Chains A and B, each alone.
Chain A
Amino acid sequence: MKVMPAAAAVLLVLVLLTWLSFRASNMDAERFDRALGALDRFAMVESALQRDVLSARAGMLRNYDPLVREVTALNELVRRLRDAASVDAEEVAAVDRLAASVNRQEELTEQFKSSNALLQNSLSYFRLFTARLSEADRNDPLAPAVSALATAILQLTLDTSSAAAREVTERLNGLATQPLPPTDFDSVQALLAHGSLLNDLLPTTDGVLKALLDKPSKRRQEAIRTMLVAHQDVLRGTAQRYRLLLYATHCFCSVFLSTSG
């Protein structure tokens, strides 16, 4: 008859120890590690995207595949963060805000690629036709107008303010009203076409670049990181308390068994 209460007591202690072990193990630690890892990776990829966008603008990167890969990676990392944060409404909302930043960055990157492709071409053609119309042995009335336009465009590459753009417009108009010798007609028309395109593209592309480099997602990343670390600390504290309880239970059981014979 004494066997039954003893077996029940052992079972109860086993259940208690198992439950305490489970609560002391901080099962969510891996989820937080994954989320924080994804956040670190996100910051790296975002920096790589900004570096590559700048390289492309400078004409040093002539292939948009890296930009595509980076935007894809940002979207994938947001998906991983969403998976990791799926149990907490506050975290979900923060990840949604980060996802909105990524959508905006993707939109800006697409605008950048499209305008930069045209910009690089028009810069090359503008140089080509300026050179053709400014050959050393030429001495015609077009030269001052071409030179003034080239100066204005060069200024616009350094300063895309509306004042600089207005100056280019005036120089374009100035050249367009010049009487053109038939031999130069095609070159001047091409110079005007590409100069006009540059007048639109340089400020537009710079605007897109500035928006991309503003790091709109940095604040949102930090918000998620703070939230994750705070939740992780709470869970670590809870696990620590359960480890102490587990230890106390072990001590109690050891004392009880040794004194009860």
Chain B
Amino acid sequence: MASLLVIVATAAAASQPEIPGLQAPPDQEPISSVPSPPPADPFKLALGERLFADPRLSRGGSRACSSCHDVGTNGADGNRHDKAFDGSDLPFNTTTVFNAALSFRLGWEGGFRTLEAQAEALLENSGPMGTTIAEVVGKLSADPKITRQFGEAYGHSPDRASLLDAIATYERSLLTPGSRFDHWLDGDAASLSIEEQNGYQLFKSLGCVSCHQGVNVGGNLFQRQGIFHPLASPKPEILRVPSLRNVAITPPYFHDGSAPTLDEAVRRMAAAQLDRALSDHQVEAIVAFLSTLTGTYRGTSLVVAPQ
């Protein structure tokens, strides 16, 4: 019975808290603010940005990195699955490129440790880009303008290492600081409404924050999906926990893109991973909080990509 009392005494910690009014964040929140992009050589950065939008990085020059990762909107696109060159669906939903540099592994399965390794694999994969680095380097070397740009940035003509480094340098710059939630973390108590703060408290008390924490609100561990109930397509069983930064403007959701709205994604996650059936009010509050995670790029707030 004594043990029961011990357990009961701490039960309040897991129940939904009441929030009397606007509160400044406590010192040790499990989420931290997105930093400013790291300093980078402006020549490499400009070259990387140009390469990111260059269709010569794909088979037949039909698509660029930016075709699926639109940095003018949300860093991804609105499709459930993008298409491979043979017209089939790519296996996973395209994730946003924004803040990818803050994740400890890249891709839904977390198979890449660096942006360079991921860029190399995507360029040479027959699905997304369907080319080879050697072919890309050959095409770029035949262009005097971009060869000059490589010379300015790296002191030599295009090669494998400088191509991948330029793309990765640009991707590292694609951070989105300045979300309302980050302002709140930094001490601006008025940045969040009471409903949004309630949503954040609920996000923590329900246990969403156990996986979605850190600077990227996720992206720093692997987790099994479908702990209590099926979540989405059962394979792969283990996924890198996705970042929730900018989640409100990056539908559809899950690795198979099967949740078209954030409300549905929140409801399904609670059931599958926490064994909880959320009320409409709880879903609304959590979605309100998640909407405060939308950051800015080059001073402009990110927006949903058109479908």
Residues of A within 8 A of B (CB): 62-65, 67-68, 72, 110, 113-114, 117-118, 120-121, 124-128, 130-132, 134, 146-147, 150-151, 153-155, 190, 193-194, 197
Contacts and interface: CB of A to CB of B under 8 A. Distances in A.
B282 to A, nearest CB: 14
7 contacts: A62-B28, A63-B32, A110-B221, A114-B223, A121-B210, A146-B4, A150-B4
Contact of B220 (A64, A124, A150, A194): A64
Contact of A124 (B1, B28, B207, B275): B207
Interface string B220-231: 111110011000
Interface size class of B (residues with CB under 8 A): 35 or more
B7 A65 contact: no
B178 interface: no
A127 B14 contact: yes
Contacts of A154: 3, 6-7
Interface stretch (B39-47, B50-58, B211-219, B287-295): B211-219
B142 interface: no
Contact of A128 (B1, B15, B224, B227): B15
B207 A127 contact: no
Of the listed residues B11, B213, B223, the one surrounded by the most CB atoms of chain A closer than 10 A to its CB is: B11
Q: Which 7 A-B pairs have the closest CB atoms?
A: A131-B11, A121-B207, A124-B14, A62-B30, A154-B3, A128-B14, A113-B221
Given A62-B213, A72-B104, A124-B14, 19 more contacts: A62-B28, A63-B214, A64-B213, A64-B214, A64-B220, A114-B223, A114-B224, A118-B223, A121-B274, A125-B274, A127-B13, A128-B15, A130-B11, A134-B8, A151-B3, A153-B7, A154-B7, A155-B3, A193-B275
B32 A150 contact: no
Contacts of B275: 125, 190, 193-194
A260 B3 CA distance: 99
A82 to B, nearest CB: 17
Interface of B: 1, 3-4, 6-8, 10-15, 28, 30-32, 104, 205, 207, 209-211, 213-215, 220-224, 227-228, 238, 274-276
Contacts of B28: 62
A147 B220 contact: no
Contacts, number: 95
B105 to A, nearest CB: 9
Contact of A147 (B4, B104, B209, B215): B4
B11 A127 contact: yes
A147 B11 CA distance: 14
Nearest to A121: B207
Nearest to A146: B4
Given A65-B32, A68-B220, A121-B274, A127 B8 contact: yes
Contacts of B12: 131
